[in-house]
Every structure is written in structure tokens, then in C-alpha cells.
Chain A
Amino acid sequence: MLLITCPWCGPRDETEYHYGGQAHVPHPEAPSDLTDEQWAAYVFFRDNPKGPFAERWMHATGCRRWFNVLRDTATHEVLTTYRLDEPRPGGTR
């Protein structure tokens, strides 16, 4: 069980949250100009790093806000959490 700190509600059990996949995936500027391969890359292809990974979570049974979590995929350690309007700590990826 992960203990995730919601930026608004504080530490709560993982069961209160909903997972939302990789964070910081920019929506294409002009989706209609993309080739099928480029669109598929945007929709389906995600990073799969071993180590720190920025991902979106939503506090489903709490404040129902989306926020970002930096989690180590190898150890499951939650490194930090931050709001959607804050940059990823320690640079972008």
C-alpha cells in the first residue's frame, strides 16, 4: 500500500486515489496535422523508466483533484507530489 500525500488533503492511503498514467504528455499543437504514426505515438506510447517516473493521480474519495506524483518504479517509493501548475521537481522528462 502506497502512502501518497495529496497536495491539498495530506497523506492518505493509495486506495483513496485513482491512477492517471504518465504526467507531462503535451497535447499536440495541431492534432489535425499529425500523421497516424505521430498520433499513435501521442495516444499510446509512454515512457517506461526504471527509477523516478512522473505520473498523474486523482484523489478520488477526497478532494477529487488531479495532481502529479514522482514515484520510483523500482522501489515504489513516492519521492514527492506536486500540483498540476507546478513544474516537475528536478527538471523535466
Chain B
Amino acid sequence: MADTGITALRSSPLAHLADRMRAAAVTGARGVTLRELPFLHMVNVRVDPSSAAAGRIETALGAPLPRRCGDTTASGPRTVLWLGPDEWLVLSRSDEAAASREALGQDPGSVVDVSANRTTLELSGPSARQVLEKGCPLDLHPRSFGPGRAVSTTVGPVAVLLWQTDDAPTYRLLPRSSFADYLGRWIVDAMSEFGGPEVL
């Protein structure tokens, strides 16, 4: 995709670490890779889930608003993540805030484009769970966490939205942009031991 106009000028929060993240990749049975998925569109939706406006927003999104912590719903390239009992984050590849804002109308609630608030790190590979377990207080074992689950928690000292997308396992971590540099370096450091033989 050729960027034109103002988007050609933007730089992502982790652009300066791209080479280091690529160099940190580990292949093989203990493999793990890290990369940034920059410039995903994110829309924060707040609305009473029992209201008529919530129903209209669900129609506009093409997916129900998940009602429980950890649940996500998807519709095409769009995913809705649960943030709170009346708060969601809609992730997508294109700018879709207008449709939800129109669906909300004048009713109580808010639809705000927060794309610049966070960036997205993708951590993938057989060792990805072990890398995260060095600093995440959640139980990430498949019996309690799996694909399609997304929760707000911490990795190291950084608050992130942690979303597992497949069984590889692949995780997406969404830290605030200003914490992304620290988190990126933290993960690169946590990945380094998997490049060598396992020490028992």
C-alpha cells in the first residue's frame, strides 16, 4: 500500500526498534518472533450494554459487543475487545469510527478514535508463552487462556491489553505508545535465552 499525503509522514512508536526486534527472532522448536503491527485503527466505545444504542452499534459493527471479561467478537477484519462492563475497544484495518458514532447518535455514551493511544506488538512462536510468563501475573496455560481471549493486565511493569490470536501461540500486546519502547526492549531481552540451548 502506497502511503500518500499526511500518512506518509507518520512514524510508529516502535519504528526505531524494528531491526532489533527482527534480529532477536529465534527459529526452531524454541522459536519466538516479535514485530510491531503499526497504525491499527482503534475505537473506544462506551455505552450502556442494555440500551438501544448498544444494539445499533452492534448492527453497525456486524458483531455483538462481548459481555464478559476476556471475550472478543470478530466480524471480518474487525475485532471487538472487552475493556469493562460498559467499555470496548474496536480494532480494525480501516477507519470505522464514523459508523459507530452515527449509530450512537445523541444517546448517552461515547465513540472515540484512540488509534494513537496504543501500538500493537505481535509475539509468536512455541516459546511465546514462556516469554510472557516471565512477567505476566495471569495464568496463560491453554486451560484458562486461549485464542480469542483478550484481557487487560501487566507484562513486566507495563500495563497492556493482552490478546491471544491463535494456537502457535500468537499474542498481541497493546501497550500505551509511550510505554512501547520499554516493553519492546523488555520482550527482546526476555526472548534472548531461547536462542541458546535449554539449560536444565
A residues lining the B interface (CB < 8 Å): 6, 8-10, 12-13, 15-16, 60-65
Contacts and interface: CB of A to CB of B under 8 A. Distances in A.
Contacts of B140: none
Which A-B residue pairs are the 9 nearest by beta carbons?
A63-B84, A13-B137, A61-B159, A9-B69, A62-B152, A61-B154, A8-B85, A8-B69, A61-B152
Interface of B: 69-70, 83-85, 87, 137-138, 151-154, 159
Nearest to A60: B159
Main secondary structure of the interface of B (DSSP, over half): strand
B1 to A, nearest CB: 34
8 contacts: A8-B85, A9-B152, A12-B137, A12-B153, A16-B137, A62-B151, A62-B153, A63-B83
Contacts of A60: 159
Contacts of A16: 137, 153-154
Contacts, number: 36
Nearest to A62: B152
A64 B84 contact: yes
A1 to B, nearest CB: 9
A18 B138 CA distance: 17
Contacts of A61: 152-154, 159
B30 to A, nearest CB: 28
Contact of B151 (A9, A13, A15, A65): A9
Most buried by B among A9, A13, A15, A64: A9
A6 B83 CA distance: 13
A65 B153 contact: no
A15 to B, nearest CB: 7
Nearest to A3: B137
B174 to A, nearest CB: 13
A13 B138 CA distance: 8
B57 to A, nearest CB: 19
A10 B68 CA distance: 10
Contacts of A13: 137
